A and B are shown apart, each in its own frame.
Chain A
């Protein structure tokens, strides 16, 4: 018995040690980009590395957001992310509810759901060339609506599946009761189902915001002008063939991470369902 307790103790210590290691490995890179964003160039390049900024400075934040157009990039990112999220969540809730609640002949419910998911299987690089050409013909390159439309195509399948999964979890009796009381189906959706699905709506919206805020490839191809580019593109633009502006990209990169860290904290409860398209209950 004593032996048994001892071996469990060792296993428990090993478990805690593994967790500690996982936490350090997870957090160090995030800390490192933050630390470097507050160092003078000479300290960034110091050998051995300066683990804690000795002379903290906001110089790189000033360089990025005042001298260079990173404020415009951040605004563009914000406008594009919010618009995409609005469209995706509204259309996604409608389609998600229809797929969760209505009757369909044969295997149509499955067919439609699967088709919606399959549009997400298309690698973005595949669809982006035709979209580029179409937007070029329409004179929409370097505009925010072009990016918003392209992002909606990638967020909508995700929003639909997530909302479908949340609606399926609601007890159908409440909507039925509202309809017995004289409400229409649309009314039952609007006044009963939608308010009950509020946590799901919030989680879906935050996931759409994160995906759009982070997206890189589509924005890279659809926008070439300073006025239309997003934060990720602006950051990548400071990694040039001849020079990498470490301080600036660290400052802008860390700034890009901050809203995401806040969102991650808020959406934590819904995380598993979100990242698995609603396939796994969180």
Chain B
């Protein structure tokens, strides 16, 4: 069959290789991912069920559900959970509405979008660190651009990321700046793939633009909307870089997310057992939500 060298050993190896090609091609990726997910998972479960002494020579003590029970009474954890949820709902919600609105507008009125797309996609590709310090510079209360604009408009100056009331808002604005293009581009791709016929039929029936949007566009876009929301929510639930640099979780823990809290517990309070318990909580919540969402939106088919 083969055109290659017909040495007996080479031939039988080749046949073996060819017969198991499916497994052999999957193996490297699967092995890497198995090692790097199974080991951490086992470690997390063991660590969460024990009390790890800061002294590495002392043995771990079995703690049962203690670390998980702490979640119920730990106010800092509740604050982190609340902040993460508020951030996710408002950031992803705003990005979705803005992105969809922009896409509908541009799809209708602008024909050649390539150059525009290239520019609009810049923010989400930039290093989050650079994004965070840029916004830190814009929010700076003394010499920042935003307060200059407020001053020109005759509005009261604010401390923005340093203000207890405005800190979360400031973080959300920076995230919206970075990720609205993501929603916009996905919605635009969805709009480009819409079939023409139903719209022609609807136009003949005299359906209003609003009805067409509600009855045709939205249902057609549903799978893409679902994917876009899922990917964004998975990202916002793990938000770290932006708050770490922009606010450090402050002021008064107003922007402390769960990821930031886990980081503090593990590295500043040196309590890996409790950090593991919180991590497991985050992991289960994320996986449960994603699975429910994928089933609900029928993304798997």
Query: Taking beta carbons and an 8 Å cutoff, which residues of A are in contact with B?
Result: 11-12, 15-16, 18-19, 22-23, 25-27, 29-30, 32-33, 36, 44-49, 90-92, 94-95, 97-99, 102, 110, 112, 114, 116, 118-127, 129-131, 133-134, 149-150, 152-153, 156-157, 160, 182-186, 189, 210, 213-214, 216-217, 220-221, 231-232, 235-236, 239, 244, 246, 249-250, 253-254, 256-257, 260-261, 263-265, 268, 271-272, 275-277, 279-282
Contacts and interface: CB of A to CB of B under 8 A. Distances in A.
A102 B110 CA distance: 42
Contacts of B287: 118, 121
A94 B29 contact: yes
B129 A253 contact: yes
A49 B190 contact: no
Contact of B128 (A29, A129, A216): A216
Contact of B133 (A112, A126, A134, A239): A239
B37 A95 contact: no
Nearest to A238: B133
Interface stretch (B61-69, B178-186, B195-203, B212-220): B178-186
Contact of A131 (B40, B105, B114, B119): B40
Most buried by A among B37, B110, B124, B131: B37
Contacts of B240: 124-125, 216-217
B241 to A, nearest CB: 4
A15 B133 contact: no
B28 A91 contact: yes
Given A92-B29, A184-B2, A261 B122 contact: yes
Nearest to B127: A214
Contacts of A246: 137
A246 to B, nearest CB: 7
Contacts of A261: 122, 125-126
B89 interface: no
Contacts of A272: 185-186, 188-189
How many B residues touch the partner, as a band?
35 or more
A23 to B, nearest CB: 6
A244 B14 CA distance: 61
Nearest to A234: B129
B153 interface: no
Interchain residue pairs A-B with the least CB separation, the first 7? A95-B29, A123-B238, A130-B43, A130-B40, A15-B109, A153-B36, A98-B25
B1 A95 contact: no
A245 B283 CA distance: 36
Contacts of A18: 102, 105
Nearest to B234: A121
Interface in B125-168: 125-131, 133-138, 142-145, 148, 151
B182 A125 contact: no
17 contacts: A26-B177, A48-B151, A94-B26, A119-B33, A123-B237, A123-B238, A123-B286, A125-B279, A130-B47, A157-B33, A184-B14, A186-B17, A257-B126, A261-B125, A264-B125, A268-B118, A280-B224
Interface of B: 1-3, 14, 17-18, 21-22, 25-26, 28-30, 32-33, 36-37, 39-40, 43-44, 47, 102, 105-106, 108-110, 114, 116-131, 133-138, 142-145, 148, 151, 177, 181-182, 185-186, 188-190, 193, 224, 227-228, 231, 234, 237-238, 240-241, 244-245, 259, 262-263, 266-267, 272, 275-276, 279-280, 282-283, 286-287, 290, 300
B126 A22 contact: no
Given A260-B126, A264-B122, A19 B110 contact: yes
A254 B142 CA distance: 22
B189 A15 contact: no
A15 B39 CA distance: 52
Contacts of A47: 142-143, 148
